[in-house]
Chains A and B, each alone.
Chain A
Amino acid sequence: MKTSIKTQNTKTALRKSALIGCSLLTLSLAACDGKDNSDDNAVQKKGTFFLSAAGESGQYILRTDNLATGDLKISDNVRQLEQAIQTWIFNDDPSVAVGLIYQQGDPGVCLGIAVADDSTLREPVEFQITSRFTSYGFFESYALTTVGGQTPADDASRSDSATFNIIDLNNGFSRAEKSIPTLNITGNGQQATFSGIVDMGNGEFLTGLVVSQPKDASQTGGASSGDITCPDSVWVAAFDKDLTLKRIYRSDKLSYSSGRFRSQYYAQIDKADDGSVYVFSGSYESATTKPCGALKIDKNATAFNPEYYFNIEEKTDGYRFRKVWHVTGNYFMLEFYNTGKETPVTVNTAATQYGIVDMAAKTFRWVTGIPAKEQITGTGLPTAHGGKMYFPIVAEGADPAIYIIDPATAAGTKGISVSGASAISAVGRLSY
């Protein structure tokens, strides 16, 4: 190999060594795992923060070890991206950033990025996904994306397929793709769109179902789901890694578990540190009679915990939420619509206020110390690290900044900002 590198120019040689490095990465991570298991706490993983920042005309990656102090400029970027990645998701083990993109009817060239031992970013692995996605998450050592309302390859008259991309993080981001029919999955003749991916840790994952009439493409074209005729029920499905349906959880205490915004289905299902899964519902549908709240699926349980019900709406003066993120322990951060009960939520209702819920204590607090809701022009994908939430916010007239939120007090403090950027679209932590 050395002789071949000699004959190439530096850039190619660098790329080549990066490729070798990357393919070795998975091996070394696996080796790390082994060490961790056999020798507890012997290796404390080091880490760095990865920021995806948008300029006015380009998108960039920045890296920093400290989100509390040390402001950045967008020109400090370590990489310009060819396309504006829509969604970055960050996995712990193996530690990678996965950049997902799919737009305008074209497949997306997605990125997988890991950090080298000297804390620099490795050359990204580029991989292609050919289906749109409305929801995503990690399951075992895979990143999963899903979209509903797809037309199966063998039957142009149907559009109830859900298509998954299954990206193997331990195998160079190689991607498998699979579609499953969803018609009558809930036994009532309706189709389902999946929202959220939560790894149960037992070879299964959970996903919220948006159950609707089969999508009638001839009437509306478009969206993943059809008309919602059962707005007062919540369904959750458990799948194994072959996408075989294991069971359905159902309750009439909540509306469906998904936050809607245009074509997106935001996850409203997530796992606490003790392995129990909380199924939230932001009661998006105007027709639902259920307040927004949450149910619980205990670790490895095959039904909702009948004892657990948390009516969140009664603690929030009627404000409803659309996004849910786990912070630490039993703390979750929720993104709320800006209008209360008196004004119904529409597809255009703004959502720029935030609250912290303690799901065990069933308490709620509005987040303080961040810009006022009417000042927030944009937010990015937050990350939880060391018991704190790191949340990118753009306030009117200010550079985008990371706010550090302590879930115990729901108080936020301003961390670093990135001058020259119009948004920090995501922040995550990568270890090495």
Chain B
Amino acid sequence: MGTKFDFFFTMSTNSFRRTLFPCFLLLCVVPPAFAQESAAQLSGKVVTAAGQPVEYASVVLKSTRHGAVADGKGAYLLPAPAGEYTLVVSAMGYKSVEQPLSLRGRQTLRVTLEADERELDEVTVVGKSAVRQVNESAFNVVAIDAKPLHNTSMSLTHALDRISGVKIRETGGVGSRTQVALNGFSGRHIKMFMDGMPMEGFGGSFQLNNIPVSLAERIEVYKGVAPVELGADALGGAVNIVTRQLNNTYVDASYSYGSFNTHRSSLSAGHTAKSGLTLQLNAYQNYSDNSYRVKTQLLDVETGVYSREKYWVRRFHDNYHNEAVVARAGVVRKAWADRLLLSVTLSQEKADIQNANLMTIVYGGRERRARSAIPSLHYEKRNLIVPNLRLSLTATYSISRNSNLDTLARQYSWSGVYRQKSSKGEGSYSTSETDNSNFNATANLRYRWGAHYLTLNNLFSDFSRKATDAAANAETATAATFMRRTNAKNVAGLSYKLQPSDRWSALAFAKRYDVLVRGPINISTTSTTVYEEQERSFSTEGYGLGATCRLLPSLQLKASFEKSYRLPSESELFGDESLETGSAGLKPENSRNLNFNLCYNNALSKAHAVYLDLGLIYRDTKDYIRRQIEQRYGGAYYANHGQVRNFGFDVEARYFYRRAFSAGGNFTFQDIRNMEQYAVGGRKLIYYKDRMPNVPYLFGNADATYSLYDLAGKGSVLSVGYNMRYIHAFFLAWESEGGDITIPTQLSHDLTLTLSLRNGRYHIAAEAKNIADEMLYDNYSLQKPGRSFMLKIRYFFFT
């Protein structure tokens, strides 16, 4: 650890050391009392001319390190030594206010900001948006503002893919299966949240790969260490999508059309009456034939033999469409509730399945469908009973049905011709349906007194899964296939944060995980299987620490640590269903996650600004739960085995020239290696210290935007954007095994041209993706679309 500190100490200026020293103390222990130089304090509210609160305004004493950020209701609290100051209050979209301030004792001040029609006229230190607030927390977190992406036709996954450390792996075009990988972790190790609620059980029709980015206000990616508010056994980090919930009257409507007969449209509208009644509606739709070309071997359906040569063919059975509506209604700003919202999300999707996990296996009739209904209730109250006590309660119930249809008695070739088979099913005959239901309830209580913040969070989730159509499920099904499986989980978290000033903060938290699973298990003592529903429980505790300090006003150091867990799933606790004995002695998968970040954010002059973020991560993950098959035991069982170490870094850099030009990029390198020397039975592993196979480890993005103002009339903006993605080749299997299959190095380029008129009311955007028509693969064999074009029109109105 010392070496990492030495790295920072090499930048030795006196002031640097002075501020650095207490910061490092904080990493180890929170000092019992932090010397405060004065008792003076300024508090109050930042409001608009109409008296509406200005969210997250920055309240700063000029030329000092003293500053604060107003909360979502415009309230701020700024402790500082008594003295003469110049107060600067600023917020995005408003003209900054500067005024002299003579601070003595406890003072209150109401600041009124005027709207600035020409926002971001030049580079200024703007108000701390929620995005910036999240980014400056002690966690290794990246929050991106989704709003600048609202003119694109992106889904949430594509927006995520631009974040350092994140790699999205898609199997095809619009609506295709998508995996989010975060610093080498993926699948069960990463948890997805929407507004703090787990997205488990939402069904395939309401997922990151089909939700348009315009539904989001921002996207937060917690790398490794997750705050207690995101209550889950997220070993490898968490992604939280914060949806757009404006408290004014607005309409945002868009339609886009492009290559492969792709249509997308979305409509958001909302109105909040003076009485506090609020209504919001989000609806969107995606449709695509995904008829892009791929290069693959051709099958002669009559002989069943493949060609050796590869040919370009067009996808012919990959139609995808999905539709969703999110409706919210409720009241805000009541004495008994700051916010009480009832919302319902209804969604459905239908996807043709063109190929299996190898592109050589092609289908002409298989499809999957999903639909879900998600009612949800949210309650929020500030100053509950006592000032600064905030309670929020959310309950979500989701029911989803996923079906898989394989009914044709045909064998297809990529040319679209088929042969009649003698039995039903292109793969295996199925009209299977699976019902999932998921109940989540979270309670969050926050209390602030002075510089102390206490958060108590509890998440209860109950997941149930049942296959419903016994007659026609996959033929390898057993009686157990149709039995219910449930997984009830409770994650309680307690967090304490000390933030005496904007300069430094420290936090410590603990989480307690409990899980109760129910599912079928074979209890037979004869050659016929007999299943019985059984129950097992599991619990464990985790903890974490974090600290941040501002070494200079523009330089922030962050450190965080968490001992995190992933609890065993029901199949892991029960073992394979055919086993008599489950693995009761299983431990949870666990990881020690250590993060350091150094962020530099500075306006060099009125014209130039730079942003730099260096993140170092260390992950030591142990006790992977692995399925073992041993003939001497007659089948499979689960055991804790394996250790993987990841040492990596993410770098992000960005440069702004006035409001006209910005360029930046991020680069991720993760050295993820197997540190297990022996197999379960003691056999030496040849791949000790090998890089993890089939995991991208070197990748990055770069982008640049140039904007011209008032070219097409006053209030117009014409922007040209460029985006580049790079991914270095990686092996499919452990390198030491001597295989030669790799996923190749890829470089792709996108261009966008956006014209916004009438101060952002009308937008026209043209996108060209993968302009070099590269052959792109996130997964072995599964080719993604080549060059494509998209045109989007958008209307946005708000008051």
Give residues in A with beta carbon < 8 Å to B. Answer: 12, 15-16, 18-19, 55-58, 60, 73-77, 80, 82-83, 104-107, 109, 123, 125-132, 149-153, 156, 161, 163, 165, 167, 171-175, 177-179, 217-224, 260, 262-263, 284-287, 338, 344-352, 373-379, 396-399, 419-420, 422
Contacts and interface: CB of A to CB of B under 8 A. Distances in A.
A338 B427 CA distance: 36
Interface centre among B300, B472, B527, B781 (most CB of A within 10 A): B527
B734 interface: yes
A16 B308 contact: yes
Contact of B527 (A75, A105, A223, A286): A286
A83 B741 CA distance: 11
Contact of B734 (A58, A76, A219): A58
B632 A127 contact: no
24 contacts: A55-B734, A57-B694, A58-B693, A58-B734, A73-B686, A77-B739, A80-B741, A107-B356, A109-B306, A109-B360, A130-B427, A167-B304, A172-B305, A221-B477, A222-B475, A260-B527, A346-B527, A347-B578, A348-B578, A374-B632, A376-B631, A379-B631, A399-B683, A420-B685
Given A151-B424, A347-B578, A58 B741 contact: yes
B729 to A, nearest CB: 15
Nearest to B423: A150
B550 to A, nearest CB: 45
Interface stretch (B22-30, B239-247, B434-442, B518-526): B518-526
Q: Is the interface of B mostly helix, strand, loop or mixed?
A: loop
Contacts of B732: 57-58, 80
B682 interface: yes
Contacts of B426: 107, 130
A146 B771 CA distance: 48
Contacts of B683: 396-399, 422
A58 B780 CA distance: 13
Nearest to A373: B632
Contacts of A348: 522, 578-580, 633-635
Contacts of B309: 12, 15-16
Contacts of B423: 131, 150-153, 161, 163, 179
Contacts of A399: 683
A174 B305 contact: yes
A138 to B, nearest CB: 17
A287 B524 CA distance: 14
Given A130-B427, A350-B633, 5 more contacts: A75-B737, A82-B780, A128-B411, A175-B305, A262-B578
A227 to B, nearest CB: 8
B713 interface: no
Does more than half of chain A's interface fall in helix, strand or loop, or is it mixed?
loop
Contact of A263 (B476, B525, B633, B734): B476
Contacts of A150: 423-424, 429, 475
Interface string B408-424: 01010000000011111
Nearest to A130: B411
Q: Which of A104, A130, A260 has the most CB of B within 10 A?
A: A130
Contacts of A374: 632
A83 B475 CA distance: 21
Contacts of B476: 105, 132, 222-223, 263
A19 B679 CA distance: 40
A109 B296 CA distance: 13
Contact of A285 (B297, B429, B527): B527
A401 to B, nearest CB: 11
Interface of B: 297, 299-300, 302-306, 308-309, 356-358, 360-361, 406, 409, 411, 420-430, 470-479, 481-482, 522, 524-529, 578-580, 629-635, 679, 681-687, 693-694, 732-734, 736-741, 780-781
A11 to B, nearest CB: 11
Contacts of B733: 55-58, 80
Nearest to A76: B738
Contacts of B633: 348, 350
A238 to B, nearest CB: 21
Nearest to A337: B634
Contacts of A56: 685, 687, 733-734, 737
A377 B736 contact: no
Given A109-B306, A179-B422, A57 B693 contact: yes
Contacts of B686: 55, 73-75, 419-420
B303 A172 contact: yes
A132 B423 CA distance: 11
Nearest to A75: B738
A130 B299 CA distance: 12
B634 A127 contact: no
Contacts of B687: 55-56, 420
A195 B522 CA distance: 25
A153 B424 contact: yes
